[in-house]
Amino acid sequence: MLSMDGVHKWFGGFHALDDCSLEVSQGEKIVICGPSGSGKSTLIRCINAIERHDGGRITFSGVSLDDGREAVQARKGIGMVFQQFNLFPHLTVLDNVMLAPMLVKRQAPTPSRQQALALLERVRIVEQANKYPGQLSGGQQQRVAIARALALQPQLMLFDEPTSALDPEMVGEVLEAMQELAREGMTMIVVTHEMGFARQVADRVIFMEAGRIVEVQPPDRFFDNPQSERTRAFLGKIL
């Protein structure tokens, strides 16, 4: 479904992604971890072209994401959830979820509303549909953000530290919503340091350091028998 081949990203003279390659199959769940500044966000931002990569190739469902109008179209099949929710504060929860299908797909209001309510039901927050984001807890806002990303019916979902900004008691409800999505067969790439989630949900865990993909392993091997000394040192610090 997704292929990255020798991807590079520079910020001025700083080499943020150094020859990153990765193949993701349909339905696969990938967890990315690694120290702060290692390029995790940059990697997934290049996948949905919030950042432009400077070298290498990225293809999604057979379409090149390197440039061109095809790439703009293909990217609509990729949903993203950020650490800081990024909901529109002046719109209700329902309108936040309805907006993208209406703007991007020119979908009519009535079906957009029905679809948004169904998505809010799916992340168990439909009773808050008419509130504003500021009236919700962080965990609730993040579940709305997940519903909003799902509204464009993506084939691939990217999560960038979706629970890092949450109070500890709210982490579980967001991970649960993500786990449910995983069970339904969604293809997911998740940057997180929630190692319990990685063990339970990931098909493969990736460790990044200094812009490079250092290790890619199934979770059992990743946690119990990491091959790289760097991975071992990192796990020693966070576990």
CA distances for 89 relative to 59, 123, 138, 207, angstroms = 34, 19, 13, 35
Token pair, residue 75, equals: 């990217």
Token pair, residue 39, equals: 């390029």
Strand partners, 70: none
- Per partner kind, with CB cut-offs from 5 to 8 A, the member of Mg ion, ligand ADP, none near residue 138 is none
Q: Does 36 bind ligand ADP (CB under 6 A)?
A: yes
For residue 42, the minimal CB distance to ligand ADP (Å) is: 3
User: What does the chain come to in residues?
Assistant: 239
Per CB under 6 A, the segment of 8-16, 124-132, 162-170, 175-183 that binds ligand ADP is 8-16
CA dihedral 169, 173, 174, 178 (to 10 degrees): 150
Q: Does 11 bind ligand ADP (CB under 6 A)?
A: yes
Nearer to ligand ADP, 34 or 154 (CB): 34
Nearer to ligand ADP, 37 or 185 (CB): 37
Nearer to ligand ADP, 58 or 120 (CB): 58
Nearer to Mg ion, 102 or 165 (CB): 165
Among 4, 20, 24, 40, binds ligand ADP (CB under 6 A): 40
For residue 182, the minimal CB distance to ligand ADP (Å) is: 22
Sign of the CA dihedral 209, 215, 218, 220?
Answer: negative
For residue 8, the minimal CB distance to ligand ADP (Å) is: 12
Strand partners, 30: 189, 204
Of the candidates 153, 161, 141, 143, the residue with the CA atom closest to the CA atom of residue 91: 141
